[in-house]
Amino acid sequence: MDKTLFLRIRQGSLDAFGEFYDQYSYKLLRFSMLYLKSRVEAEEVVQDVFVKIWENRAKLNLELSVEGYVFRITKNELLNKLKKKVLHTEAITQNIEALIHGNNTEDAIFLQEMKSLLSEAIEGLPEKRQEIFRLSREKGYSNKEIAEELNISIHTVESQIKKSIKYLRSYIQYLPVWYVFLVFLS
C-alpha cells in the first residue's frame, strides 16, 4: 500500500499525496512534539517534512521502507530545528553575559530601565495572561506544567504566551526581543 502510494506521489498525484499526508501527519506530529515540546514548532517541522517530500517526489526510492524514510526525514528536520535553537540560545547567552558582567555603567542603567519598562508592560497584561507569562518566564514552568497547575489546555497556554509576547513587543517596540527576556535572567 505505502509503496503504491509512493509511486503515485512520485508520478505527481495530489490525491495520493493527500492520502499520504492523512496517513502520516499525526504520527509525525506526535513524534516531533516529543522533542520540541511545542505544538506550533512540531507542526512547522511536519509541514517542512511534507514540503520536502513533495519537492523531491521524483527522487523517491521505492525500495526503501516508506515509514522509515518519512521518520528519517522528520528526525533530520528535528535535529536542524534543535541545532538552530541551541545556536540562537548561545548567541543570546553571550549578549546577556556581556551586559550582566560588563563594567559599562550605561549598560547597567539601560538594563535597569528595561526592567522597569518590562515590569510596567507585564502589569498591563490581563490577570490570567500575566499569571501564565510569569509562570513561564519567571519561574521556568513548561507549558504542560502551567496547563496542569491552572487546569487549562496546553494550547491555551501557548496561545496566551504568544499574545503576551506580541503585546510586550508592541509595548517595547524599539528593543530587540532578547532584551525583553534578559530581564528575567538578571
CATH number at residue 71: 1.10.1740.10
Q: How many domains does the chain have?
A: 2
Model pTM score: 0.49
Q: Examine the domain organization and report whether 117 and 181 are in the same domain.
A: yes
Q: What is the DSSP letter of 57?
A: G
Least confident interval from 37-46, 68-77, 106-115:
106-115
Q: Examine the domain organization and report whether 68 and 110 are in the same domain.
A: no
pLDDT given for residue 184 in this prediction = 47
CATH of residue 147: 1.10.10.10
Q: Examine the domain organization and report whether 127 and 74 are in the same domain.
A: no
Taking the CB of residue 183, how many other CB atoms lie within 10 A of it? 18
pLDDT band at 60 (very low <50, low <70, confident <90, very high): confident
Mean of all residue pLDDT scores within the chain: 80
Q: Examine the domain organization and report whether 123 and 74 are in the same domain.
A: no
Decide if 79 is inside a domain: yes
Angle in degrees, CA 91, 92, 94, rounded to 5: 65
Instruction: Read off the pLDDT of residues 101-113 as tens digits, 9 standing for 90 and up.
Output: 655 666 566 667 7
pLDDT band at 172 (very low <50, low <70, confident <90, very high): low
Decide if 98 is inside a domain: no
Decide if 96 is inside a domain: no
Place of cell 511545542: 38
Taking the CB of residue 135, how many other CB atoms lie within 10 A of it? 19
Its domain, for residue 69, covers 2-84
d(CA 36, CA 79): 10
Contact 47, 39 (CB under 8 A): no
